[in-house]
Chains A and B, each alone.
Chain A
């Protein structure tokens, strides 16, 4: 800076300019990064807040819950619009950490545990058997690709894309024919044969190098052996991914039980939670948290599988 600019040699001026430009770029990239991080952090807070709030609220004593939000649920459950001129106070951290909600849910009111068990018993067999059926079928779809098979596979895709508004009517009709309405079979069977996992696993299996299969064939392996010894071991990751996606979908189910199970006793917790009445509102957050736990655990241990599963689905990677 001490030297006047005029005395600079042309190459020096050039170097100076380049240096300044680089500095400017660096500052710009830092600001961009800073803003990006802030933006991401803002979104992250928005995304996490409902989950965190539910969990922290589950550690409040029921008297604290009802003094904070009693009115929210009093008005919603009666359906009327009785507004009390009082604020709802949202608290992130309980005044006093209390396990009373959990104690009540786990030891004193068996109906919630029963509904939780209903969810498990509805979802478990669907996940296990949908994947069994789908692994077999996707082997068939990827081993040989004739015209008929391509047509069937296309049919599966169309079915997969149909919303419940369309598929529940056929499901209901069959359940009626087979006399399984109002039994768990009405949820299990359509779930087991849902084409979703077939689509996902076929997309994955079609990427297994044909040379591996041919090598096994030359060694004299039959189809079943190729499936069990070559294909299945390679697909374990993809199967886990599909299992997670199927699990989330059914753990969250609301539409099917409402229509196919008239008996509310058999309803899963996902439907029952909304029917919680104002008298038991102190328990609601604990029940909600307990219901979240399996999903969050699966997420914790299987996030990579989940991410892979989503990407196979999109067909971008495999």
Chain B
């Protein structure tokens, strides 16, 4: 908005501005039409579908579909599993990647190599490493051998409630590098003079971190949290590639539910689940924005 005003005063010719507006609008057109056709319009139709009894007779039933789906046991367990998974792995992903970023910001040797190593899992397709995960976490596999050293019994990782732990590990493995890069950029952009003042006032490293850096990082923390949340839904890939359509209960996620619902094409279920999910996402993201606004206001120029 600020930029717009500047531009207006600078050009100070309404006509010309109008021409710019129109001719540059043409550039948006293909993308806009595509987005409308493939995302927005069908989504509006889906909102409609979620409130009728079926797409052919179209009797308006308002919230019945939502009541049905909330009453659906599979849906409820999918939601709670997804929520538990995201609730554990998203904070872990934020904290661990921040730690890695701080580590790489300190004066250790081989920093750029370490960055490359941490980032490399991001480039590897899930399908390629699934084999190795199977070998590592197999009942007679290496991980069970290792925990046997400390006396823990063998665990059937993929077919028990421990599946959640394995998934969290796989999720962190894949996503920490990406988050770390975001944090490294944010740490590098903190004004040096403020840190200098803190050092001259003999603030400890911890004080500097919690009193100064965290403030500057707040918008990045928000972004990392949102991206991790979105990526946490993509863990379906691992689940599907490891256990197929019907994984053990504790890792039966929302996307697994959707995937199986697509098979019998129950439009009511699908559309009400999608609508519910989008509402929840908007609420969560909105909430995170409000929290960030509250804590990070004082440093944004």
Contact = CB atoms under 8 A, between A and B. Distances in A.
A141 interface: yes
Nearest to B241: A274
A193 B37 contact: yes
A223 B23 contact: yes
Interface string B236-253: 110011101000000000
Q: How large is the interface on A (under 10, 10 to 19, 20 to 34, 35 or more residues)?
A: 35 or more
5 contacts: A168-B258, A172-B262, A270-B237, A274-B130, A315-B223
Q: Which of A143, A169, A170, A317 has the most CB of B within 10 A?
A: A169
A143 B24 contact: yes
Interface string A277-301: 0000000110011011001101100
B145 to A, nearest CB: 7
A90 B135 CA distance: 8
Interface stretch (B57-65, B191-199, B275-283, B291-299): B275-283
B274 A161 contact: no
Interface string B3-20: 110110011000001001
Interface in A188-224: 189-190, 192-193, 195, 198, 206, 210, 214, 222-223
Contacts of B124: 50-51, 292, 295-296
Contacts of B262: 168, 172, 259
Interface stretch (A2-10, A13-21, A80-88, A93-101): A80-88
Contacts of A84: 140
Nearest to B231: A163
Interface of B: 1, 3-4, 6-7, 10-11, 17, 20-21, 23-32, 34-35, 37-43, 45-46, 100, 103-104, 106-110, 113-136, 138-142, 145, 156, 159, 173, 176-178, 181-182, 185-186, 188-189, 219-220, 223-224, 226-227, 230, 233-234, 236-237, 240-242, 244, 254-255, 258-259, 262, 270-271, 273-274, 277-278, 281-282, 285
B128 A288 contact: yes
Q: Which of B24, B131, B271 has the most CB of A within 10 A?
A: B131
B35 A159 contact: yes
A195 B40 CA distance: 12
A263 B87 CA distance: 36
A1 interface: no
Given A149-B28, A316-B186, A291 B34 contact: no
Nearest to B226: A161
A163 B230 contact: yes
A299 B122 CA distance: 9
Given A40-B108, A83-B140, A284-B131, A164 B234 contact: yes
Given A44-B117, A168-B258, A288-B128, A173 B46 contact: yes
A98 to B, nearest CB: 17
Contact of A169 (B118, B122, B142, B271): B271
Given A144-B24, A189-B34, A255 B220 contact: no
A164 B255 contact: yes
B128 A54 contact: yes
A252 B125 contact: yes
Given A44-B118, A54-B132, A314-B185, 14 more contacts: A51-B124, A144-B20, A163-B234, A171-B42, A174-B38, A193-B31, A193-B39, A195-B39, A223-B27, A288-B131, A296-B124, A310-B182, A316-B182, A317-B188
A198 B40 contact: no
